[in-house]
């Protein structure tokens, strides 16, 4: 049985076998992202107590979607957290998009080593540990783990990334809570049965901001595709 379950998880098929994923969540168990079109596709927002993800290549608007969701949660009076694996978050740009920074816990790497950020497995492993600890602490409306700038080839070599039990453990931590756990990556990583994948495609646009941290675009219209489990 265990081997069969692990096989389904590796193939991202387990969530389609769980009928609970097709249940309609009550409004109080949904967290609006602040994007009206996306929230309509989600049926009102992301489900609390579940792990969801934003997946897409660079320039697809994944940071913009995440910042909009963080801003919406902060506006509701919730504490929010961002675990920034590669130290790419730009507070000034996020504040300009309405994120109340006083409600944000921003976790980023320590002083850089001899390796550029994002090129070593330790960056992702440390970020995952911080993500797990914040979820265990509780009290946050939305907690985001941004792995988008860790090269996919580095992640795929990482045992913690490939191990299905890693993401099952994260899903169990957040299960039943009022927290939305959200991953950002260049590819699909994981989601719980009641979570969704917000798949983004590249969009033309230009960088917004004047510092090297600026990761948001102006003039970009994201077209997310929501992938959810079938009941």
Q: State pLDDT tens for residues 72-108.
A: 999 999 999 999 999 999 999 999 999 999 999 999 9
C-alpha dist (Å) from residue 37 to 40, 177, 201: 5, 26, 16
Return the minimum-mean-pLDDT range out of 24-33, 83-92, 145-154, 209-218: 209-218
Say which CATH topology domain 2-228 has: Rossmann fold (3.40.50)
**pTM for the whole structure:** 0.79
* Domain coordinates in residue numbering, the chain: 2-228
Average pLDDT, the chain: 82
Half-sphere exposure of 49 (CA within 13 A, CB side): 11
| Whole-number Å distance between alpha carbons of 95 and 181 | 21
Q: What is the pLDDT of residues 104-151, one digit of tens each?
A: 999 998 765 544 555 556 778 899 999 999 999 999 999 999 999 988
Residue 126: in which H helix or E strand, if any?
helix 121-137
């Amino acid at each position: 049985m265990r081997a069969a379950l692990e096989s389904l998880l590796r193939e991202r098929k387990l969530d389609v076998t769980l009928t609970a994923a097709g249940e309609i969540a009550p409004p109080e168990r949904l967290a609006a992202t602040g994007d009206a079109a996306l929230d309509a596709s989600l049926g009102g927002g992301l489900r609390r107590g579940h792990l969801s993800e934003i997946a897409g290549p660079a320039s697809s608007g994944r940071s913009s979607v995440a910042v909009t969701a963080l801003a919406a949660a902060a506006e509701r009076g919730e504490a929010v957290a961002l675990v920034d694996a590669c130290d790419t978050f730009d507070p000034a740009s996020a504040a300009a998009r309405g994120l109340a920074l006083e409600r944000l816990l921003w976790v980023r790497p320590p002083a850089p080593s001899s390796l550029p950020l994002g090129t070593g497995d330790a960056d992702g492993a440390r970020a995952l540990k911080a993500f797990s600890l914040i979820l265990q602490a509780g009290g946050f409306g939305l907690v985001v783990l941004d792995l988008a700038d860790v090269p996919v080839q580095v992640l795929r070599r990482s045992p913690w990334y490939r191990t299905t039990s890693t993401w099952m453990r994260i899903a169990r931590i957040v299960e039943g809570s009022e927290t939305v756990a959200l991953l950002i990556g260049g590819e699909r990583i994981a989601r719980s049965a009641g979570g969704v994948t917000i798949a983004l495609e590249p969009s033309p646009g230009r960088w917004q901001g004047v510092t090297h941290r600026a990761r948001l675009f102006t003039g970009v219209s994201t077209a997310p595709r929501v992938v959810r489990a079938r009941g």
